[in-house]
Structure 1
Amino acid sequence: MPGMQRPSPRRRICAAAALAAACGALAIGIGAVVRNPLEVVSAVLLIAIAVAAGWDALVRRGYRRWFAAALAVAALGATAALPDLRTFAVLSLVIGLVVVSAAATRVAVGQDLSVGPIAVEVPPARRGVLLMNPRSGGGKVATFGLEERARRADVEPVLLGPGDDLRALAEKAVADGADVLGMAGGDGSQAVVADVASRHGVAFVCVPAGTRNHFALDLGLDRADVAAALDAFGAAVERRVDLATLGDRVFVNNASLGVYATVVQSAGYRDAKVTTVARQLPELLGPDAKRPDLRFTRPDGTEQTSADIVLVSNGRYRLDHLSAFGSREHLDEGVLGVVTLTVDRATDIPALVSAEMTGQLSRFRGYRSWTTPQFVVRSARPLLDVGVDGEALRLPPPLVFGIRPAALRVRLPVTAPGAPPASVAPRGARQALLALLLVLSGEPAR
Structure 2
Amino acid sequence: MKSSEVVNSVKMRFPNEPEYLQAVKEVVESIEEVYNEHPEFEKANLIERLIIPDKIHTFRVTWTDDQGRVHTNMGYRVQHNNAIGPYKGGIRFHASVSPSILKFLAFEQTFKNALTTLPMGGAKGGSDFSPRGKSDAEVMRFCQAFVEGLWRVIGPDTDVPAGDIGVGGREVGYMFGKYKKLAGEFTGTFTGKGREFGGSLIRPEATGYGNVYFLLEMLKTRNIDIKGKKCLVSGSGNVAQYTCEKLIELGAIPVTLSDSDGYIYDPDGIDEEKLKFVMELKNLYRGRIREYAEEFGCKYVPGARPWGEKGDIALPSATQNEIDQQDAEMLIKNGVFAVSEGANMPSTPEAIDIFIENKILYAPGKAANAGGVSVSGLEMTQNSERLSWPSEQVDEKLKWIMGNIHENCVKYGTESDGYINYQKGANIAGFMKVAKAMMGQGIL
- The TM tier, using the shorter chain, reads under 0.3
Structure showing greater Rg: 1
Higher relative contact order (CA 8 A, sep 6+): 1
Task: Indicate the structure with greater helix content.
Answer: 2
Q: Which TM-score applies when normalising by structure 1?
A: 0.26
